[in-house]
Amino acid sequence: MNNIFAKVKGPRKKPFFKLVSDYTLFDALDLSTLSLIPYNPDHNLDEDSWFKIENFSQQSFCLSCIKDEFDSKDFDDLTKKYFTKISYIFSHQDEDFYFQKITPSLFIKRKTIAFGESAEIEENEGRLIVNHIPDAVYLKESNILLFRSLATISSIFKGIDILYKEATEEEVKSFLSESFIVLSTDYDVEKVSKPNRKRIALAMDTLAAMPVEDRGEMLNYINDYCAEKLKYDTTESKFEVSSEEELKYLLYGIEQRFYTTRFGNEKRLANSIQRL
């Protein structure tokens, strides 16, 4: 039997309640039509793509209620006084779990005209809007979590934002001290934005795995594509960074985001990458 459950805000011994019994809230995802991408914070999803986290039940941010044997009889029915305190809902459907984050804008209470067999006026009945597509889906058998936005589900799976790695202050300072970077007098670590801190975290991993002898080729590659964007001292083998935009292009270069089309010989920047 498929059922719908709700997580209620606030500290309480039993935060989960049954909301509706014997109902399938969301259409099942057709995995044959979707592309499932291992989560990468710098990847921009296509419309038919979802991020995935494998071995999800082994992650520290997995919910205990889906780790354990799930039995709907263990949940009390949600009473009216808690309706507006719902933080998220999930539908247990054929052993899988479909999640939706609940925000205040999804609650409506106004006079409406309902269209059934005939039109009827409903007086200020409370409503909770259910989105057409869930925010996350946990596939029990394959132990995979699917989602499209980490920011959206971070309030459901507490601690999952650890996957959105952002360089610390010390890591940013360390990166900007690399031998191939020279900062202008009006740009420093304090001006590095959150998006660039995220890119720095990725770039540091890339540099750590890169053989030292490849660094020279990397700098030449960046200069080939960014000669109009970045100042490069060929004698000193240093890029001057004086703005967020220049830092962004340097980081894109470290990640080898620039390429030339085989047909047409057009230089391009990859908006996101996916390993084949």
Q: CA nearest 29: which of 136, 125, 105?
A: 136
CA geometry: angle 128, 114, 87, nearest 5 deg: 0
Sort 157 into a burial class: Cβ within 10 Å, 0-12 / 13-18 / 19+.
buried
Q: What are phi and psi of 230, to 5 degrees?
A: -130, 140
pLDDT average per 10 residues of sequence, the chain (276 residues): 93 91 95 93 88 96 90 92 94 96 90 87 85 97 96 94 88 96 95 93 93 94 97 96 97 96 94 76
Asked whether the beta carbons of 109 and 129 are under 8 A apart, the reply is no
Q: CA nearest 145: which of 100, 98, 94?
A: 98
pTM of structure: 0.76
**Which sequence spans correspond to the domains of the chain?**
3-161, 169-269
Q: CA nearest 49: which of 58, 40, 62?
A: 40
pLDDT score of 113: 85
Asked whether the beta carbons of 245 and 239 are under 8 A apart, the reply is no
pLDDT score of 124: 72
